Every structure is written in C-alpha cells, then in structure tokens.
Structure 1
Amino acid sequence: MRARLSLPGAVALLALLAGRLAGGPLLFDRAEYAARRARLMDRIPDGVAIVLGAATPSGDREFRQGHDFAYLTGVDIPDAYLVVDGVRRESLLFFTIGEKAAEGEGLPLELVRDAKGVTGIERVLPAEQFGTTLAGLSHRVRVFYTMFKPEELGPENSNEKLNALQRTMTLNPWDGRLTRELQFVRNLRDKFPQVEVRDCSPFVWDLRKVKSPAELDILRHAARIGVEGHNALIRSTRPGVTEKGLEAVFEFVCRASGAVDMAYTPILMSGKNHAFGHYHKYDRTLREGDFVILDAGPDWEGYHADISTSFPASGRFTARQKELYEAALAVREACLANYRPGVTFKQVGEAVDALIQAQGMERFDQDFRGIVRYGGYNHMIGLATHDVMGTFAGPDEVLAPGYVFACDIQIFRLDEEIGVRIEDTVAVTAKGCENLSSGVPRTVAEIETLMKGEGLLQLYEASRPKRARR
C-alpha cells in the first residue's frame, strides 16, 4: 500500500528540497514570511508586535527556534527579537552573532552577512539596539503587543506548557517565578508605563491555523516519513520482541529519512499499559495475544505528523480484536468521507452517527460518543503536534481549506487488554480532504499481509554474531 503524489505536488516538493539541499537559508520563500507579517500588521494597526526569539540553550544541545518566531521570520538565529510595526507597516529584526559562531551552529552565513536581503525584513539591527528602539517606539505608538503564552520549542505545545509551568513554577509557593513571556510583559509595563501592553498570541495563532500550499508540502512529506516508520515497526513486530527495540526501529527509519527529531515522544502501548493513554516506558516484551498501539510521528523541517496504528503482536487478529478494530475503522472511513470545506465537525459527527445506526453498531454508542460530537477531530497539527489556534468553535467549527488536524478514532476494552487507535493527519482541500498519512495498512488484510515479511529487527538479529545475540 503506497501513497501517491500528484505531479504538481512532486514538482513543488522537489523545488523545495532543491532549495534546502543547496543550503537555502530560509525554509520558505521570503515572500511567504512577508505575507504572514503583513496579515499580523492588519490586526495591530494601532501598535507594534514584539516577538522574542528562543534563547541560546543552557546546555550542549542543538538550538531550536520558537515556533511563532520561526513562523514569522524563518530565522534560526538564537537570542533574536522581531518587531512588527502595524503603524508604519514594516518589520525590524534584531540579532548579534559572528560568522564563526554562526558557522559552528550550522547557520547559513548568507543569513548573517545579508539578513535584510535574505529575509526581506525592512530593517536589521544589532540586538544591543533593541532596548533603545523600544524606547523610541514607546513615544510613537500607544500599544505594545507581545506573546503572553510560552514559546514552543520542538515537541512543545504552548497551552500545555503554560499549564505545566503555572503548576510547577508560577503557582508553586516555593518558586513563584513568571514565565519568560510574562516576565517580559512585566518589564514592558514597568519600563514604558505610558504604553498599553496587549496579548497578540491569538492573532499569530489564527494565522498558523490555516496552512499555505508550501506548508502543506512540508506536512505531506513529514507524514510520508511517518508512514515509513510505522510500516517498518509493524513489520518488525513479533511475540518475543521488546517494545524498546520496536521504538528504536521507528526512530531509526524516520531519522534516516531526514527527520530532525520526533514530533513527540513515541507512544507504544500493549497489555495493561493501554490504560495509561500516553505510555512511553517501552518496558514490555510482546507476548502472543498482545494487541499493540503505536502513536508516533516525525518532525521534518519543524513541521509534525501525527499517526496511530493498531495491530496484533502475533500478526493475526483474533475474532474479538477484529470486531473492535473494524468498528473503529468504519467510523474512521465515515469521517474521511465527510470532511470538506463548509461543513462543521458536528455535521461530520452526525454522518458518523447515522452510519453507526445503519450498520447496527449501537453497542458502540458509548465508545464513540465523543468522536461523534467532534466528528473524529482531536487537535490541529502543524509546527506543533497539538497545534495552536487563536479561535476555535468546538463542534461548530466550520472546516476551511488549509486546516490540518488529527482524525483520531479510539476504542478500548481495558479488561481485555485491547486498545485501538486509528489516527491520521488530514488536510482540508478545496473540494474535500487529503489523508496525508495514507500508506499505512488500515484493513485487517493489509495489516496481516505486511506482518508476514521480515522486519528490520529480524534482519538485524540475523546479521549479529551468535555470541552477541540474546
């Protein structure tokens, strides 16, 4: 089962890859970033937006730019600042880094030498001038907008990060520190009391909510890498194989295909661990009769895919496993058949409910109640796996072209140690939807056929000297 790519899509992806392989300093054309900043300017006609770039890592690890800063600039330089001026409709970029330091971090020297030409940002200044520039702006505009929510790095989600930091830091009576962003808000208010400080997180996040054609090309490729990883892991699954070994197969295939990281820590559940939802200890050796869930996706060029597959460790479904799996699969097929612009998630759910009643699946009403309410929707996907949104109407959200989200169908029988998740990365198109993660086996027959072949783990074991084998 192999995903097909249209000729226009293939041409666009090849052009994108050619630019990246040639050392292009930005992921997208600078005009795309300029358009994003222009749309942000439309929302702040009375002030300027100030966006903090990610700080230099405190330890010896790779620098990752914050998602919002990357979205608006494409610039991976640490300790940078962006000012988007909605009054004069221009942008200012601040950073200080030498060529040797940039080269040591793998940053393109062209970006350091000619940041204005590369990025199209109207003014580029040393980071040391950031404070004096803000002081000047404070006398010209009446509103400073900035991101009140925490920056996202790699697999992080801003709202989830905020909740965690509030619980463990801000509201902790033995700590009490503010987040970096809220400390910046406090500093702005203290230094420039004449200026009102407002949150622009919803404005930026509403921009991120709708993916451009160029973003869709990236997401499509990320999903294809994820499909290869899932297929390799499924093929390697056998009774007697460790979950730790299987997880290593997924990461190896994704990284060998160019993934910069995992979109999130892969979730691998079997046996009693189905009860824990997000389990990634990898501490079981699979046994005959186990049913396995893999929830995993790669991070490619900063964009994520989210895919879940479910399959028997033995390679053959029992009658009970098949019954539950095919119920979830029927709901998934109904969701994909009804996603299109102009409909709401609630209307998709109504179509799913009609299918459940028509096929005599009422015994699963309780299992699929939440899925029916949201039409299979779980969360948006993009720069974050649980991608952010400035506004969301819940079940009444009207689908629009450029939406990318997880269709996530689940059913669990914890007393039987069976869990089923069938999750796809789905993009809404002009006329319907595209399943970006097509290519993983979904029917019982497809899964059982794939599992008949030798997997990477079996080939690896066969290649090892006998004395080195377990």
Structure 2
Amino acid sequence: MMRHLFGRRLASQNMGFLVAVTLAAAQLAAAWEREPLSVYHERRARVVSETGDGVVVLFGYNDEDVAASVTTFHQNENFYYLTGWNEPTAMMLLVPRVAKGRDQPVEMEKEILFIPPHDYRQEKWTGPKLGAEDADAPERTGFRAVKSTSLFHSELLEALKSFPKIYTELTPQPESGEDAFQAEMVSKLRKLAPLAQLADLRPHLTRMRTVKSPSEIALIRKGADASVEAHLAAMKAVRPGVWEYQIAALMKYEYERRGCEWPSYPPIVGSGFYSTVLHYDADTQQMQDGDVVVMDVAGSYSGYASDITRTLPASGHFTPRQREIYEIVLGAQNAALTAIKPGVMIGGRGKLASLQQIAFEYINTHGKDLHGKPLGQYFIHGLGHSVGLNVHDPAEYDQPLQAGMVITDEPGIYIPEEKLGVRIEDMVLVTQDGAELLTRRLPRTVEEVEKAMSQKQ
C-alpha cells in the first residue's frame, strides 16, 4: 500500500473532487445495513432513563485500535449499539434532563455525536466521509446534535456542572480484545474530568443487548443464511486429499460474496485428531480417508455475527462408530432444542432442567467409550451462548431465557483416543412460546449430510 506522503505545498482544491465527495457522501456504506436510526435513539433514551443520575460517555475506536491498515475497520460494539456509527474517532455524550421530582421519569436532554471535521486531502485516500460541519449530519446520524471532536471536552465539562457522575465502560468486554482500549479511555476521562465520579455502564448494556430488536434479528438472519450457504458449498467440496485451509477459504468466499464483511471468528476446520481440539484454527492438515471434519465457520453481516458448526465424514460416508457418536450428539441437540423457551436456564450442569443438563444427560446415557465408560466426560464445554454483535455476545447467563434472545445449541463429543470429534451447532431464536431454528436449511441428520456431500462440485 502506498504511504500517505504529502509535500509541504497544499494541493489546490479540486472542485470536481469536492463535488464527488458531496455526492458519494450521501451514499456512504451502501452495502452496510444499519437498523433504523430511531432504534439507536430509543436505546440511548433507555440508557439515560436507567442511569438517570449522570452523563453517559462512550468512545468509538480509532483506526489504530483495530489495526485498520491491515483489516477492515470494526467499531467498538457498545458504541455501535448505541449510535449505529461505524467510522473511527467518534465520541458520544448523553445528558439527562434535570428531574422536577423524584417520581418523574428521567428523560434525555442532550445527545451529541462528536466526529472529526472534513479533511478533504485525507478523503482522497480514504473516500468521502461525513463531517461534523455538514448541515445534514443530524439527519444522517439520528443525533439531535453532531459536533466536532474538538468540542467534546468543553461540552463534557458543561454537562458535569449539573451531573458530576459519568457512566462509561469501566470493564472490558470478555473476549473482545478491548482491554487496552478500555483502560486508555478510562484514563482519558480521569484526566479530562478529574473530579467526576465514574460508574460502569456495561451492566446496563449487557441487559439491553441480551434481547435482540426485530431489526437486529433481521440482520442476524442474513448473516446466518450467508453462512449456511458457505457450509453447503463445503459439504460438496470436502473429500480425502483436500486441505483444511482450502475449505476455510472456500467458506469465507461464499459468505463474503453474499454480503458478510468479515469472519465472526477465525475459521475452525479440523480433521482427524484435530476434530477433537475445540478451537483449532490453524487449518493446516490434509484430510484423510476415514477422518471426520469439524467445520466451525461463519461470517458477520453488517456487524452481526453467526456461529455454525457441522461435522462431516471426509469420505462422504460415516463409519458405524462415527455414525453412532454423531447421532448421540444430534440427539442431545434435539433434546435441548425441544426444551428451549422463555423461562428456561441455558447453562449450569447439575441444574434441574437447564439446557446444559438436558444435553449432558442425553450424552451420558447413550453410548460408551472404548473402555465401556459413559460419554458425558467427553462433552467438555457449555451448550450454548448468546450471539449478536459479538459471536459470544454479552448476556446474563444466571437469568432465564427471554423471547428475542439469539443463542446457539452446540453439544459435542471429543474422544482424542479415537481421533473422533463431533460438534453440531445451530443458531436459535427464542420465541414467545418456544424456539425457531435459524439455520434449519443446513443438513443435520446423517442421511441429509451424506446426501449433500454426494453432490460434489
């Protein structure tokens, strides 16, 4: 890539370029689908209502926070959840209205998105951007006010005169890789407002993100559908002699050509012994006749993750032992799937009627290992998790399921001694009276899998 080298002379303004910027800016990120701007506004209003006694501050990522020189820009998840803004170097300030009485609901007085002003020289390299000075910035962002990032400090100090408490991210989201960013932003706030009390916003956002909005579910469906197509393509391509990385690359191509921006997680394509390694993502082995292949691969659509796993016989047909283990895992998955509904607990082995316990009991009472022992000891992970902007989306796992949650159902058996690992993972929408299998188009039974594999490319 060319370096951003500029001489001391300012390039003369190119009127044609400015016109192009104006026209293109009206169609920013056409391929990226956002929820309706009103949804983000409603979330911000809810956050202010729930916190009430302080201002809310969140920072978006900068380019360097996501190594943007080598990967597509990813926004901080909680920042995106409240703003829908997917450009770097932004800040958000929410200010409650001073309540007239204790029993009065807290309303939002101000909502300000701070973004950089135009840098037209830079935009020749990066493409058109929305600038803080653009007259239509409030309309296009859904914020009542859009201001330059240079004004953030003064606006914050003004708000703190009425509310000397700041709600922000005091703890990093697990598995997000944002530990350094979160610590840096807290340090920044302490320097900008040394007398302010800081409170953690994350518990509020975790509760909100647990239940998905209809527009979030629509985006999740698109990502799941694209990822299902990737798995269908892989089923036609897996055979002895194929390399794991070839299947991973094929699947990435298939879901990205259907609109996904990036992998929801590093693709896991593990054959033979590596089918028993849960997060094996080296994908460096050549598939052998007699192997099973665990493919845990999915893409993210407009930022919303998918998570799907299938286990295939490299030869196209399961051996009797492979079929036995596969059907036990499938039986456990179906047992849990039948039980999914609001009010049920997803996790907790030993907890009566939790989905985890239902799946474990099924596995532990069906089949034996080579030494005649029950198979429960080979189910070594949780049954499922929440899916959303993160593949392991925040959720309150000590609380029962609610309608609108999107979770995975993914039992597995991993027997290293037999070089035999089986995991079947599907995405499930919790409905008012049960569950909807979002990935139902993808073959699950032995017969369906073998039939799909017989249709070789």
Q: Tell me the TM-score normalised to structure 1 length.
A: 0.80
Residue of structure 2 in register with 1:392 after alignment: 397
Measured in 1, the distance between the counterparts of 2:330 and 2:76 equals: 36
Measured in 2, the distance between the counterparts of 1:77 and 1:357 equals: 49
- Are 1:140 and 2:144 matched, yes or no? no
Residue of structure 1 in register with 2:234 after alignment: 233
Listed as ranges, the matches of 1:51-450 within 5 Å are 51-57=58-64, 60-61=69-70, 62-87=72-97, 89=108, 90-98=110-118, 100=120, 101=122, 105-106=126-127, 109=130, 113-150=135-172, 158-161=173-176, 179-345=180-346, 346=351, 347-349=353-355, 351-352=358-359, 364=374, 366-367=376-377, 376=383, 378-389=384-395, 391-393=396-398, 397-450=399-452
Deviation string, structure 1 residues 235-276 (Cα, Å, up to 9, x no partner) = 101111111211111011111111111111100111222343
Measured in 2, the distance between the counterparts of 1:320 and 1:416 equals: 10
Higher relative contact order (CA 8 A, sep 6+): 1
Q: In the alignment, residue 83 of structure 1 is paired with which amino acid?
A: L
Number of equivalent positions: 408
Measured in 2, the distance between the counterparts of 1:365 and 1:422 equals: 16
Measured in 2, the distance between the counterparts of 1:404 and 1:77 equals: 27
Distance 1:59 1:210, change over 3 A: closer
- Are 1:40 and 2:55 matched, yes or no? no
Measured in 2, the distance between the counterparts of 1:410 and 1:73 equals: 38
Unaligned runs of 5+ in 1: 1-18, 151-157, 166-178, 456-470
Deviation at 1:418, TM superposition (A): 0.6
Deviation string, structure 1 residues 73-104 (Cα, Å, up to 9, x no partner) = 11122101001223451311111131745585
Measured in 2, the distance between the counterparts of 1:76 and 1:30 equals: 13
Q: In the alignment, residue 81 of structure 1 is paired with which amino acid?
A: M
Measured in 2, the distance between the counterparts of 1:24 and 1:413 equals: 43
Q: Residues 41 and 142 of structure 2 are in contact (CA less than 8 Å); yes or no, is this contact kept in structure 1?
A: yes
Q: Residues 94 and 126 of structure 1 are in contact (CA less than 8 Å); yes or no, is this contact kept in structure 2?
A: yes
Q: Residues 77 and 107 of structure 1 are in contact (CA less than 8 Å); yes or no, is this contact kept in structure 2?
A: no
Structure with greater helix percent: 1
Measured in 2, the distance between the counterparts of 1:366 and 1:42 equals: 46
Deviation string, structure 1 residues 182-203 (Cα, Å, up to 9, x no partner) = 2332333344333211111111
Deviation at 1:26, TM superposition (A): 6.4
Deviation at 1:354, TM superposition (A): 6.7
**SS state at 1:50 partner:** strand
Deviation at 1:108, TM superposition (A): 6.3
Distance 1:446 1:20, change over 3 A: farther
**SS state at 1:406 partner:** strand
Distance 1:48 1:324, change over 3 A: same
Q: Residues 93 and 156 of structure 2 are in contact (CA less than 8 Å); yes or no, is this contact kept in structure 1?
A: no
Q: Residues 332 and 422 of structure 1 are in contact (CA less than 8 Å); yes or no, is this contact kept in structure 2?
A: yes
Listed as ranges, the matches of 1:13-28 within 5 Å are 23=30, 27-28=34-35
Please say which of residues 271-280 and 229-238 is displaced more in the overlay. 271-280
Measured in 2, the distance between the counterparts of 1:298 and 1:117 equals: 31
- Are 1:49 and 2:56 matched, yes or no? yes
Unaligned runs of 5+ in 2: 1-25, 99-107
Q: In the alignment, residue 181 of structure 1 is paired with which amino acid?
A: Q
Measured in 2, the distance between the counterparts of 1:325 and 1:43 equals: 47
Q: Residues 33 and 302 of structure 2 are in contact (CA less than 8 Å); yes or no, is this contact kept in structure 1?
A: no
Measured in 1, the distance between the counterparts of 2:29 and 2:114 equals: 26
Kindly report the root-mean-square deviation, in angstroms, between the aligned alpha carbons of the 2 structures. Answer: 2.8
